[in-house]
């Protein structure tokens, strides 16, 4: 049995790392498998790149001009199909297809013609909307009936709103497939069940992390930043903006007194210009072990995300023994239980402040309770679920 995963990246970013973890799990069972990817460089032995960097950039530009996101990259898609033909996979597992890395119509026509068994992990909502990977911040529900007058059109096209066309094309292309949809959260499963893809089998498989890396890691972080006697509040994101809750941290920095100190990881010069002077800004970490040390040093991890599927950062914090406070957004609350963190309604800044003060004063969550919860996120167990799914749906897979 041969299996191919298709993704924008291989080993890079959250989806690229998930692909490699699935591949390594399969390889440990001597299963023949490959990752076909479009962007970045990877030295992973089973990764095969089918696009050039300049080609990806050109297709992104075409999408911006024409507004036909997902329906460019014709030459690259034919190249991808040639590689699929050469491998002749029994199963194709799709991940991120909105990295300007394929032409949906060409690729899915091929899948239908070859009657290939498909799995597709939805890392966001893009597959069942005209344009949007996320729509919670703009409170849009048009995707449930038919996209039009897209409130986020400007993020995807400079000139045209082609969301009605793209929605109809996706609905046409993504029906009639031998497809199982995989989602990382119960929240995402509910979204899919309200979409035009609701008739497909939907399987929830939570994302996992490496608990040998994300674990309590002692360091001199507090001493280096002069906050030994402060209650350390941590935020981690890559691409800080309103969606990630940057404004929430700015507001909390104004409200909280000198007993507290906020640390943000993943910032840049643009973000620094917006931050109050009492916020510690860390642009990047050298490696995951360094990040684990920062998680460990914190007293509380705060995730005021406004659009989310199943955030890895919540899991990483708990695995380092740090409790989590999050907005009630997407699948973010699903990662917590009553013993390791708290949830407040999205955009409730007063509620967020009250919870921070409560956790500071009462210390209701222990490191051991966080570590116990983190056992649920062991990547080996989670990615074994993919293998079990392949075996369940394909009896000849071994």
The tens digit of pLDDT for each residue in 278-313 reads 999 999 887 899 999 999 999 999 999 999 999 999
Report, as an integer, the average pLDDT of 5-30: 91
Report, as an integer, the average pLDDT of 219-237: 96
**Which of the four pLDDT bands, split at 50, 70 and 90, describes residue 125?**
very high
**Which of the four pLDDT bands, split at 50, 70 and 90, describes residue 5?**
very high
**Which of the four pLDDT bands, split at 50, 70 and 90, describes residue 13?**
confident
Q: 299-354, pLDDT tens digit by residue?
A: 999 999 999 999 999 999 999 999 999 999 999 999 999 999 999 999 999 999 99
Q: What is the pLDDT of residue 394?
A: 66
Instruction: Output DSSP code: residue 337.
Output: -
Cα-Cα-Cα-Cα dihedral sign, residues 62, 68, 70, 76: negative
What tokens does 343 get?
Answer: 């949830």
Q: What is the pLDDT of residue 41?
A: 86
Which DSSP string corresponds to 40-101? S----TTEEE-S-HHHHHHHHHHHHHH--TTS--HHHHHHHHHHHHHH--SEEEE----SS-
Report, as an integer, the average pLDDT of 81-97: 95
**Which of the four pLDDT bands, split at 50, 70 and 90, describes residue 393?**
low
From CA 330, how far away is CA 335, in angstroms rounded? Answer: 11
Report, as an integer, the average pLDDT of 171-179: 95
Report, as an integer, the average pLDDT of 34-45: 92
Check whether 20 has a pLDDT greater than 70.
yes
Instruction: Output DSSP code: residue 377.
Output: G
Q: What's the whole-model pTM score?
A: 0.91
Q: What is the pLDDT of residue 395?
A: 57
């Amino acid at each position: 049995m041969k299996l191919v995963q298709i993704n924008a990246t291989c080993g890079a970013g959250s989806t690229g790392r998930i692909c490699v973890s699935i591949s390594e799990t399969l390889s440990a069972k001597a299963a023949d498998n490959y990752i076909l990817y479009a962007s970045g460089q990877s030295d992973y032995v089973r990764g095969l790149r089918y696009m050039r960097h300049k080609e990806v950039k050109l297709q992104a530009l075409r999408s911006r001009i024409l507004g036909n996101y997902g329906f460019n990259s014709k030459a690259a898609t034919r190249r991808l199909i040639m590689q699929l033909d050469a491998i002749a996979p029994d199963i194709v597992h799709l991940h991120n297809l909105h990295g300007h890395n394929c032409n949906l119509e060409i690729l899915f026509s091929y899948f239908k013609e070859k009657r290939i068994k498909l799995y597709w992990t939805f890392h966001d909502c893009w597959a069942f909307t005209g344009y949007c990977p996320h729509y919670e911040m703009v409170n849009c529900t048009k995707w449930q009936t038919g996209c039009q007058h897209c409130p986020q059109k400007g993020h995807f096209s400079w000139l045209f709103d082609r969301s009605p066309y793209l929605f109809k094309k996706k609905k046409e292309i993504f029906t009639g497939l031998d497809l199982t949809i995989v989602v990382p959260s119960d929240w995402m499963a509910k979204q899919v069940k309200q979409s035009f893809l609701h008739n497909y089998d939907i399987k929830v498989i939570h994302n996992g992390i490496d608990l040998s890396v994300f674990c309590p890691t002692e360091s001199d972080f507090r001493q280096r930043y002069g906050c030994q006697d402060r209650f350390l509040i941590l935020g981690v994101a890559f691409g800080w903006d309103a969606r990630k809750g940057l404004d929430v941290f700015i507001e909390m920095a104004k409200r909280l007194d000198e007993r507290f100190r906020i640390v943000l990881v993943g910032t840049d010069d643009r973000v620094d210009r917006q931050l109050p002077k009492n916020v510690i800004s860390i642009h990047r970490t050298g490696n995951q072990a360094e990040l684990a040390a920062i998680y460990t040093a914190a007293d509380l991890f705060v995730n005021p995300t406004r659009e989310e599927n199943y955030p890895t950062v919540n899991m990483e914090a708990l695995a380092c023994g740090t409790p989590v406070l999050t907005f009630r957004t997407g699948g973010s609350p699903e990662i917590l239980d009553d013993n390791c963190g708290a949830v407040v309604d999205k955009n409730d800044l007063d509620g967020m402040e009250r919870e921070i003060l409560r956790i500071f004063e009462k210390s209701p969550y222990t490191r051991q309770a966080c570590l116990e919860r983190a056992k649920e996120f062991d990547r080996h167990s989670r990615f074994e679920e993919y293998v079990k799914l392949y075996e369940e749906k394909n009896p000849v897979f071994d």
